[in-house]
Structure formats: C-alpha cells, structure tokens
Chains A and B, each alone.
Chain A
C-alpha cells in the first residue's frame, strides 16, 4: 500500500511545475521514435509468427467436418484482436521499452543527472517521465494495430503456403461476423497497458538508489511489475467490458 501511495504521488508530481509546451513537444517526439519506431521490428517479427502459429494450432484443433474452414480465420482474427496483439505484444513491449526506461532513468539517477535537473529548478520527474508516458500512450495503440494486421496476415500466409485452408476461405473468415467493438476494446487495452508499462518502469527507474547492480535490479523489477500489472488489468478490463 505504501508503494502504491508513493507511485500515485509520483504520478501526480508529473503535472506540477511543468516546463513550456515546446520543450515537452520536442521531448515527446524523440520518445515516440524511441518507444514506437524502434519497436516496429520486434513487434513485426513476434506478430507474424504469433498469427502463423495461432492459425496452425486452431486448424489442428478444429478438425470436425461440421466446422467450415473459414472458422479458423475467424478464430485467429478474434484471438488476435481481443487478446494476442494487445496483451502478448504488451509483454514484449514491457521487456523492450519498460526495461529501457527503467535503465535510462536509473542510470541518470545514480550518475546525478536527475539531481542536476533539480538543481537547475526543473521538475525532473515531469521533464523526464511525462514525455515517455505520453509517447507510450500515443505509440503503443499504433503498434497494436500494426501487430494485429501482421498477425492476421501471418495467418493468411501460413494458410496459403501450407494449404491448411484456401486464401478465399481465410479472407471470408476474417470478414465474417465481425464485431467493431472488439477493435475499440483492443484500443482501450492498448491505452491502459501503454500507461502501465511507461509509468511503472519510470517509477522503478526514477527511485533507483545505489550503483550499477541496483540499475539492473530496477530494470528487472520494471519488467516483472509491468507484466503483472498488464495481466491484472487485462482480466479487469475483460470483466468490465466483456463480462
């Protein structure tokens, strides 16, 4: 409870004694490149294989002659949009971006760079953390959309190349019984997960004490705590919005 209270005070400190809009704008653009653009490759690789494997496993489990082939694509689409792209990619995102944020802030803390900002009269938490959270909340939903597209496309390629189902059936399947709300749900999850990863990782990094060993520990704690928070929030959102 004490940590939660400290975390909430930290989050509220981001919004006091802020610098000019142009300062944050430049920093946010830089952070967007770091958290978004630099994550494209890993998200693309994970998403494509995720879609491919989901298609093969769904086909393996749906072998009844009473189930039409296009259902495989329908299942892949819904699994991808509802769960795999927002949540599994969030875990990957926590590993890449979360550890980076915690490591960067932790190193800045132990090398007195954070103190240097404070002495200059700059609100270090707001200056360093707010752009990271804004960039994360802006870029992660875009990564989720990109991931969902590649995952479904990865499923299509696998279907066609292995002959599991025809390309026609796959495309028919991904268009069948489509519920628009699922996209909205995926984006809500993306916003929440993006905030959790950036905020928790920044919190862990910002309050690092000690030396190189502690920076490593802060990075690890950032990833594990982010993953737990993602899974908890995933359940909570599913219960609230789909339950």
Chain B
C-alpha cells in the first residue's frame, strides 16, 4: 500500500500540487486522472522520487520514502517498476538486454536464470521472437509491452505507469490496459496509473482519483464516476460524444 500525505509542489510561482492526500491499495489498479496540466505526472514523479515535493510525505507500506535516508530510498526504489510515457527503453540495448538490465545491475542471478526470467516476462506480455530486435525496430505498442516486461522483471511490489496508452490505437490501448490489470492482480502489486483516457478508467479503474488544477476533487471507482455531481469531473468524463451518449 502507498499513502501520500499533504503533497505540495510549486515550480517558482506556479503551484502545481496543493496538499494532495490519497491511499493506493495493493492488488488494485489505482488511476490518477485529470486534464493536461493538472499535476498528474508531477504527483507520480513525487511518488517515485524523481521530483522532491515541497511539503508532505510518501509512505510505502509505512516506510517514509520522502524524508528517509538514501539507503532506504534506494531499497524502496528497487521494489518499484515503472512504465514511462515514451517507454524509455535504452536505445543502445536490444529488447532482451533492456529487460535483463535491472537483473544485470541489481541482482547476482546466474546468466541462465536471468535469461529464463526475461523469456518468461516477454511471454507474459505477449511478445515472442523479438529478443534481438533494437527498440528502433519495434512498434509503439511493442515498446510499451517491452517497457512493462522490464518493469516487472525484478518482481516489483509497486508498479507506476505514466500514460501507458498515449500514442496507441484504441485496440492496442485496451490490450495494454488489460495486461497491466492482469499483472496487478496476478502478483498483488500496488499499481498507480496516470492517464487522461476515459477508456482506461472504464476498463481498469478500480480506484480513481481526479485532479483539477493541483487539487484532488474526487475519489472513487469506475462504477460511480458517472454519478458524481462535481461539474469539473463531469466536464472531464463527458467531454467526448461517446460518453455523452452513454450518459
């Protein structure tokens, strides 16, 4: 479980996050949604330590990540897997080496065990016979899958996904969403996903947090997101024609 308490962040004069509190439960897909520029990605970066919040703390199973010492932060980070918006695969390494990378650097596993684990993860994300391809030789959807495989290779306790289906076609988006949801349930991982895609909310939003201009306006599940009377949330949820029709 991850708890965030009173997270505040400003960049010079601009307040991006205004005291956010939330709890993200284990074995569930937790979604942070909101329009562009509302602070979703900044909140995610505060949670994984890429951005230092001005105020507040992030607790991983009660361990204080934000103000903890470097050793504790490193220990927690090694329990984290992250899928980046652009996949962030290492250009100089092929698919196999990309996935094996966390094992190479962070574990002393024998070579054949590492290879077995890589092949297992590739199979798990539905990719085969791509081991020797370079990131530049595979499609956007495949890059996301490789990114997921790399994120789970070290058996993380926490999985973070920054806009996992941005730039993907609707079918591939659903495949990626389903894959994340399956992995979350299968391994009991605490998964936090930042997205502004309502399809994802409907597909996998077990817990949803809505951010608006740096504030948390709403918290709930995909079942009751359409029943809210908050104007900003309704404007976001029913922005497209399809959702209006459903309503």
Number of interface residues of A (CB under 8 A): 17
User: Which of B50, B86, B90 contacts A119 (CB under 8 A)?
Assistant: B50
**Contact between A113 and B49 (Cβ–Cβ < 8 Å)?**
no
Q: Please provide the 3 A-B residue pairs with the shortest distance between their CB atoms, ordered closest to farther.
A: A121-B77, A112-B88, A116-B88
Is the pair B88, A121 in contact by a Cβ cutoff of 8 Å? Answer: no
Contact A121–B106 (Cβ < 8 Å): yes
- Chain B interface main SS type: mixed
> Cβ of A17: which chain B residues have Cβ within 8 Å of it?
70, 74
In the complex, the answer to whether B70 meets A113 with C-beta atoms within 8 Å is: no
Within 8 A of B (CB), among A2-35: 16-17, 19, 23
A111 at the interface (CB under 8 A from B): yes
Tell me which residues across on chain A come within 8 A of B90, comparing CB atoms.
108, 113, 116
- In the complex the two chains form, is A120's CB within 8 Å of B105's CB? yes
CB–CB A112/B104 < 8 A = no
Q: A residues engaging B (CB < 8 A)?
A: 16-17, 19, 23, 107-108, 111-113, 115-116, 118-122, 127
User: Which B residue's beta carbon lies closest to that of A120?
Assistant: B102
Which B65-90 residues have a C-beta within 8 angstroms of A?
A: 70, 73-78, 80, 82, 84-86, 88-90
Can you identify 8 A-B contacts, CB atoms within 8 angstroms? Answer: A111-B86, A111-B91, A115-B84, A115-B88, A118-B77, A119-B49, A119-B160, A121-B73
A19-B105, A115-B50 known; A120+B88 contact, CB < 8 A: no
| Given A111-B88, A119-B49, A127-B105, 5 new contacts (CB under 8 A) | A111-B86, A112-B88, A113-B88, A116-B84, A120-B102
* Minimum C-beta distance from A192 to chain B (A): 29
Given contacts A113-B90, A121-B74, contact A23 B85 (CB under 8 A): no
Residue in chain B with minimal CB distance to A16:
B70
Question: Closest approach, in angstroms, between the C-beta of B86 and any C-beta of chain A?
Answer: 6
**Complex: chain B residue closest to A110, CB-CB:** B86
